[in-house]
Amino acid sequence: MVRYVYEFTDGGRDMADLLGGKGANLAEMTRLGLPVPSGFTVTTEACRAFLASGSEPEGMLQEVSRHLSVLEKSAGRLLGQRDDPLLVSVRSGARFSMPGMMETVLDIGLNDESVLGLAKASGSDRFAWDSYRRLVQMFGSTVMGVDSALFDEAMTLLKETREAPDDLHLDANDLAWLVETYKRLIHDQTGQEFPQSPAEQLRLAILAVFRSWNGERARLYRRREHIPDDLGTAVTVQRMVYGNRGTDSGSGVAFTRDPATGRPGLYGDYLSNAQGEDVVAGIRNTVPLADLERLDADSYRRLLDHMGTLERHYRDLCDIEFTIERGTLWMLQTRVGKRTAEAAFAIAAELVDEGQITPEEALARVGGDGLARLMFPRFDTAVTGDALAHGLPASPGAAVGAAVFDSAEAVRRAAAGEKVVLVRQETTPDDLPGMVAAEAVLTSRGGKTSHAAVVARGMGKVCVCGAEELTVHTEARRFTTPDGTVVEQGTVISVDGSVGAVYAGEVPLVASAAMRYLETGEESDSVVAGVARALQHADSVRRLEVRANADTPEDAARARRFGAQGIGLCRTEHMFLGERRKLVERMILARTDAERDQALNALLPLQRQDFAGILEAMDGLPVTIRLLDPPLHEFLPDHTELAVRIAAAEARGEQPDPHDVELLDAVNRMHEENPMLGLRGVRLGLVVPGLVAMQVRAIAEAVVARMRAGGSPEAEIMVPLVGAVEELRLAREEVERVLAEVTAETGVPLHCPVGTMIELPRAALTAGRIAEEAEFFSFGTNDLTQTTWGFSRDDVEAAFFSAYLDKGIFATSPFETLDRDGVGRLIRIAVDEGRAARPDLKIGVCGEHGGDPESVHFFHAAGLDYVSCSPFRVPVARLEAGRAAL
Ligand code: ADP
Ligand code: MG
Ligand code: MG
């Protein structure tokens, strides 16, 4: 018999798969002896069964009733009984936190009779009716599907007629009237009555929470956060405690450290006489947590105590939801808190210093995506001028975009390629699509724990919240500042989430502190110190070497400063561009061997110089130089351009330039339908006489020159796009012939390892044979992905990848994160068979994937020796290679 319900006393933090994060942590807090209102959790398994079949799994409801009875017995009251009713909340909670994305219903058990009982028992009519109106509204929107804006409108209207600045100024009569209005609204909208039976309320609320797993915003959030769609949510049923019982009560949200910067110390917001989402919804202005000390010293002290307990227990930043009911503190939620990349690095290092975690654990808690974010440029504060407004630095970073005032507009403009900043009074879960689309989120209300702040931090979006100097006129699509500045929709603004400021126009950018550290070693703050520590530790534990893809001495030097241990891919085609195009043209158009040799001889000294510069920048470290790879016609002018030039000359009655005519002829001759699969890579070297020889000679002579200058050049020669060992054998013979020639000419013995790229399925599948001729392999995962999937990267990404992502065919583009099942399988085969044939075969990867965190973990597991990526990804790869080795 499957068990669908667990009491808090039966669960624990390691049961999050089954109980969701919220349920598991409520159980954990209960076990730690913290004051948690009692309750139980219905499992994610029940949810999955419900979503699969459309009805609740057999026995689930009986189990719920049984556990409800236990709750009732311990409370000494029945759910919704007429006098002094027991009320419960029904709360969603998935394995991975999805803040505000699913539903929660509070005050279940109230009806037209029990509301009177609650009033009597509590001695407060206002409190009872306030609770009832909350239930009818939440139940009406969540369970019965009424647009929540309709309830808000009724509330706003009532406040206006009563001239009440906020909900606290509504009295019991007002609230009772509101309940009637809400009930009528529900009836008008759905044709159904708000259910009076407490048991029915409970059952419907549980099922509604199950269904909210597949709500639109929950799905969108999951896709964005790469959370699987098939986990389901748990449902927690918990005895209500009341933060809305008067001024000696309230609700709050707190963090044990600053989740934006990582600085130690308590952070949070508190709202007195409030329940549930009031704190994060920004209906009234919250006070900083520190003010609670003045309001209720005793609860404050206890709260600090519990937060200390939780942080020591979880050994990490925790966030907490709590409620105070008439001076009694209740803990309603905790979890290891979401944080910015800044905070992640700072906190990890600090916890190591405090002796709470090991350097290994610290490394496990930071990541390459976060590091990449820290490397983004910041605003140049020297030139920012006066801010339009200041708010809370809720999620750091610099963002520039056009101000927009609603989610739909943000989505529309972003889809058209415009950068936007979403400006709202406060955000709600309905704003999620706009937040995803925007570069930054700016709100005029709400604290660091407001919806906007929490969600933006989770997504790594820039956010400034609570910018109270701003007046946001959502309807009119503009905001104003105290000095009278008006910012209309479409006006470009700059948002600095690191300091909490908004500027007019586009503020220029400068290098971030993390980037300065990587360039110069300067440790300017605790975040950078955390980055330094994490990278040092990663370097000490990683097995994978990290190289860079670099084609110029400048890139090579930067990569080296960033910690690259060599160059894994030096593309020679970049050296054929610019002024040298003319020489390449001459080589292509050559009619005789002599003409071709002449062109190649002109290219030789230029190439030699390029290689010497790179070998110097990487002195003592390996530099893998790839022989020319792209089809030669890429170096010729564009067909249309030539045709137009010729036609224009003819139209003027002139003779077209004979060179143009010759070029056009060549372009026509060399045209390929599928250049990606055409005459390129090793194929070029085998059919264009002298091409390989010239390049190898340039490399060899550069090596000799470097050696004579006292350097230690370590050039490696890499042959691209090999599909058969015979191709590599022929290319290699040519390489070795030239190396021997240069040795004979200079008297300097040369050994340059010769290897190949593995970027065709056939190469991977015949790797054992190919290894006979290769001293190293380097997986060209860009081409290998193209050729394995049959995708032309330049064509497919725009054409249908977003449809494929929507349909769940893959969760991320295989060009971003390596496809383990397909491309990964080929890599494993090639590694196994290559090493079997040649045990000392050196194996690396030089596609974009070399700098992708998840892919780096795969390459580590597949036993590669190194990854090579763009210079800016080198620190990311170092960090992830270290994490992969943990
Ligand atoms: P979310 O996942 O959106 O944070 P929760 O289930 O945490 O939703 O509920 C939102 C808020 O409702 C909580 O932060 C808490 O303030 C309030 N709440 C939930 N259950 C109870 C309860 N049993 N008693 C009092 N307040 C509750
Ligand atoms: Mg919620
Ligand atoms: Mg919560």
Q: DSSP states of 460-484 as a string?
A: T-EEEE--TT-EEETTTTEEE-TT-
Contacts of 717 (CB under 8 A, 6+ apart): 624, 625, 627, 696, 699, 735, 752, 753, 754, 755
Is 783 annotated in some ligand binding site?
yes
> Which pLDDT value is given to residue 845?
98
Pocket perturbation via mutation, ligand 1, pick of 89, 103, 233, 338 by most ligand atoms within 8 A of CB = 89
Residue 644 has pLDDT above 80, yes or no: yes
| Nearest ligand, measured from the Cα of 281 | 2
Q: pLDDT at position 884, please?
A: 98
Active site residue 463: no
Give Cα separations from 230 to 57, 233, 749 (angstroms). Answer: 17, 9, 62
> Is residue 282's pLDDT more than 80?
no
Region 591-618: mean pLDDT is 94
Spatial separation of the C-alpha atoms in residues 446 and 349, rounded to whole Å: 30
pLDDT in tens, 551-566: 999 999 999 999 999 9
Q: Which residues line ligand 1 (CB under 6 A)?
A: 37, 89, 91-92, 100, 104, 106, 238-241, 251, 276-277, 321, 323, 332-333
What domains lie within the chain, and their CATH numbers? 5-239 (3.30.1490.20), 250-336 (3.30.470.20), 378-510 (3.50.30.10), 542-574+611-629+682-884 (3.20.20.60)
pLDDT at 805: 79
Distance CA 269, CA 616 (A): 57
Answer yes or no: is 571 a known binding residue: yes
Distance from Cα 608 to the centre of ligand 2, integer Å: 64
Do 614 and 555 touch, CB atoms closer than 8 A? no
Q: How high is the pLDDT of residue 462?
A: 93
For residues 683 and 728, give the distance between their C-alpha atoms in angstroms, rounded to a whole number. Answer: 10
Mean pLDDT of the chain: 94
The 3 state secondary structure assigned to 316-347 is CCEEEEEEEECCEEEEEEEEECCCCHHHHHHH
Known catalytic residue at 451: yes
What one-letter code names the amino acid at 29? M
DSSP alpha helix (H) spans, 483-552? 513-520, 526-541
Give the separation between CA 126 and CA 128, rounded to whole angstroms: 5
Q: Which of 141-150, 233-242, 424-433, 680-689 has the lowest mean pLDDT?
A: 424-433
**Residue 602's pLDDT band (cuts 50, 70, 90):** very high
Q: Is there a binding annotation on residue 883?
A: no
Cα 92 to Cα 106: distance, rounded to the nearest angstrom: 11
Checking if the pLDDT of 384 tops 80, the result is: no
Please name the residue that has the structure tokens 């890579």.
681
Expressed in angstroms and rounded, the spacing between residue 97 Cα and the centre of ligand 3 is: 9
Q: What is the arrangement of strands in the sheet containing 471-473, beginning at the earlier edge strand?
A: 471-473, 478-480, 486-488
What span, in angstroms and rounded, lies between the C-alpha atoms of 414 and 423?
14
Atom of ligand 1 nearest to the CA of 98: 2
Q: Whose CA is nearest to atom 20 of ligand 1?
A: 89
For the ranges 74-83, 316-325, 336-345, 572-581, which has the lowest average pLDDT? 572-581
Tokens standing for residue 349: 């290092």
Residue 281 pLDDT exceeds 90: no
What is the rounded average pLDDT of the residues 754-768? 98
Contact 110, 194 (CB under 8 A): no
Residue 216 binned pLDDT confidence (cut-offs 50, 70, 90): confident
pLDDT of residue 580: 85
The two structure tokens encoding residue 294 = 């003045």
Determine which one of 465, 570, 846, 869 is catalytic. 846
Question: How many Å apart are CA 110 and CA 832, to the nearest integer?
Answer: 67
Match 């044979």 to its residue by tokens. 769
User: What pLDDT is stored for residue 391 in this prediction?
Assistant: 93
Mean pLDDT calculated for residue range 485-503: 94
Atom of ligand 1 at shortest range from CA of 100: 3
Predicted local confidence at residue 519, as pLDDT = 92
